[in-house]
């Protein structure tokens, strides 16, 4: 068996992005993408415009990928291209370019199934934690939503798929109704973090087996918006964050219910996702929370001794870098932090997106069905000590903590209680 390195030129043109990558074995040397902004004014991909843009982009993008990889074109061992599924015109551009280049270089040209590639991408440069066969594969994107039983690299069986709209398409159409830029999925995901996911209720489609449907849910969303706009022309602007949070919650719920069903039916706990919508924060959060096995990581977390903050606390105190401190023990954020503030018109405003909540707390919340409010009322959620400082000293404070082998980061600010609903209320978003 040869130990010679294999260099693959990968070409993807299934929709509106022209993507070219160079791989050395399972290592990505370069990955260049040309986006097609022309579709934004239409609120969706126009197939004819997409194929014309691919024609303009594919050669310069390939040149960029080759140059960045640090290897010459004649070192390429084989060319892989997307055979489908996708937009026919876009696929033809990538296929004909790959075949022509392959003939000129006298190297093999490999057809790749778009959906299989989404799943197998989880094995790229990931040898220390590759998924173990068999597992449930889920491909979620603007054009596709599928559940797949993955028994081996090329042994895959479709278990279910959308009967109408893909999940990414539903995100985009709901976003278009709210006046969000295309593609709307990332924007809905961003705004949803600021909204109330229970502000509006939408029906969860009931479809047999592992098939899915998003068309009715999309229509229900559009109808709700239209109904309320007739009453209040400013309805979208006044409720944008809540609308995003509510529709995202429902769209994701459809996926999660099917995941639970698939895991139970096939007695598998391993779930692998791929496709553009796999980047959605809510989906990734819930999947991480749903790891129910008592992993070694969780066991270590539960057995870890309490962190002692005496040494770093004395250091920042003697350097006059803090004005107060709160040890986040029993009572969590909502009891301990307000007690550290003067009995005046002050309140704390905490931004929970400024740090990553440890996986042990995510798991505990999911398994116990605990609300965000209750989690922050009872646990420290990864913040053992809160220090109050003058804004001018914040950077120096963090650096001093670091020198004492203690991680520090800004999580919020002290605000006037005029901003807060109650004098001692902790505002968490």
Q: Given pLDDT bands bounded at 50, 70 and 90, which one contains residue 426?
A: very low
What mean pLDDT is reported for the chain?
A: 86
DSSP string for 310-355: HHHHHHHHHTT--SEEEE--TTHHHHHHHHTS-SSSEEEEE-GGGS
pLDDT above 70 (res 417): no
CA distance 111 to 247: 37
Cβ–Cβ < 8 Å for 227, 239: no
Q: Given pLDDT bands bounded at 50, 70 and 90, which one contains residue 127?
A: low
Q: Given pLDDT bands bounded at 50, 70 and 90, which one contains residue 368?
A: low
Residues 6+ apart with CB under 8 A from 372: 365, 428
Residues 6+ apart with CB under 8 A from 26: 123, 124, 125, 126, 127
- pLDDT for 60 equals 95
Taking the alpha carbons of 245, 247, 251, 256 in that order, is the dihedral positive or negative? positive
Per the document, the length of the chain is 429
pLDDT above 90 (res 238): yes
CA distances to 16, 52, 59, 182, 242 from 37, rounded to whole Å, are: 9, 13, 18, 9, 28
Q: Phi and psi of 80, rounded to 5°?
A: -115, 140
Would you state the structure tokens that stand for residue 8, as one six-digit string? 């693959």
| Average confidence (pLDDT) over 362-389 | 80
pLDDT above 70 (res 246): yes
Fill in the DSSP letter of residue 234.
T
CA distance 173 to 141: 13
Of 324, 346, 328, the residue nearest 336 (C-alpha): 328
For residue 387, the surrounding DSSP H or E stretch is strand 385-388
- pLDDT for 333 equals 85
Question: Which of the listed ranges 40-44, 133-137, 270-274, 289-293 does the model predict with the highest average pLDDT?
Answer: 133-137
Radius of gyration of the chain (CA): 25
Q: To the nearest 10°, report the CA torsion of 172, 178, 180, 186.
A: -50
Q: Is 39 helix (H, G, I), strand (E, B) or coil?
A: helix
pLDDT digits (tens, 9 = 90+) for 191-203: 998 999 999 999 9
Ordered by where they begin, the domains of the chain are 7-113 (3.30.420.40), 131-290 (3.30.420.40), 302-428 (3.90.650.10)
Of 175, 197, 205, the residue nearest 277 (C-alpha): 175
Q: Given pLDDT bands bounded at 50, 70 and 90, which one contains residue 279?
A: confident
- pLDDT for 338 equals 83
Q: Read off the pTM.
A: 0.64
Instruction: Name residue, tokens 């007739």.
Output: 230
pLDDT above 80 (res 88): yes
- pLDDT for 366 equals 65
Return the bridge partners of 82, or none: 112
pLDDT above 90 (res 206): no
- pLDDT for 9 equals 98
Q: Given pLDDT bands bounded at 50, 70 and 90, which one contains residue 308?
A: confident
pLDDT above 50 (res 425): no
């Amino acid at each position: 068996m040869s130990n010679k390195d294999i260099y693959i030129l990968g070409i993807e043109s299934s929709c509106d992005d022209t993507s070219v990558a160079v791989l050395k074995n399972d290592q990505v040397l370069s990955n260049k993408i040309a986006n097609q902004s022309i579709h934004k004014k239409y609120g969706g991909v126009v197939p004819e415009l997409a194929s014309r843009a691919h024609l303009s982009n594919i050669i310069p993008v390939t040149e960029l990928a080759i140059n960045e990889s640090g290897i010459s074109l004649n070192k390429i061992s084989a060319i892989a291209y997307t055979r489908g599924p996708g937009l026919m015109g876009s696929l033809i551009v990538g296929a004909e370019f790959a075949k022509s280049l392959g003939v000129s270089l006298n190297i093999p040209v490999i057809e790749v199934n778009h959906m299989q590639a989404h799943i197998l991408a989880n094995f790229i440069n990931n040898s220390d934690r590759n998924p173990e066969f068999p597992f449930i594969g889920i491909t979620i994107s603007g054009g596709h939503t599928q559940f797949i039983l993955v028994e081996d690299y090329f042994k895959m069986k479709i278990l279910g798929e959308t009967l109408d709209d893909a999940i990414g398409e539903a995100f985009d159409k709901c976003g278009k109704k709210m006046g969000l830029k295309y593609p709307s999925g990332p924007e809905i995901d961003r705004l949803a973090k600021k909204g109330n996911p229970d502000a509006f209720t939408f029906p969860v489609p009931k479809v047999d087996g592992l098939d899915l449907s998003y068309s009715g849910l999309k229509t229900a969303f559009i109808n709700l918006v239209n109904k309320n706009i007739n009453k209040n022309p400013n309805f979208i602007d006044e409720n944008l964050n809540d609308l995003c949070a509510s529709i995202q919650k429902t769209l994701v719920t459809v996926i999660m219910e099917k995941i639970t069903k698939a895991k139970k039916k096939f007695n598998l706990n391993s779930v692998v996702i791929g496709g553009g919508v796999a980047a959605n924060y809510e989906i990734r959060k819930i999947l991480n929370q749903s790891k129910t096995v008592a992993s070694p990581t969780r066991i270590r977390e539960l057995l870890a001794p309490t962190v002692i903050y005496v040494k770093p606390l004395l250091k920042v105190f003697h350097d006059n870098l803090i004005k107060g401190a709160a040890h986040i023990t029993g009572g969590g954020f909502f009891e301990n932090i307000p007690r550290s503030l003067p009995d005046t018109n002050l309140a704390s405003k905490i931004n929970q997106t400024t740090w990553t909540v440890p996986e042990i707390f995510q798991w505990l919340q999911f398994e116990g069905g605990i609300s965000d409010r209750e989690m922050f009322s009872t646990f420290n959620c990864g913040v053992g000590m809160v220090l109050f400082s003058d804004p001018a000293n914040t950077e120096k404070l963090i650096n001093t903590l670091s020198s004492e082998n203690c991680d520090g980061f800004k999580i919020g600010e002290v605000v006037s209680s005029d901003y807060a609903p109650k004098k001692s209320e902790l505002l968490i978003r």
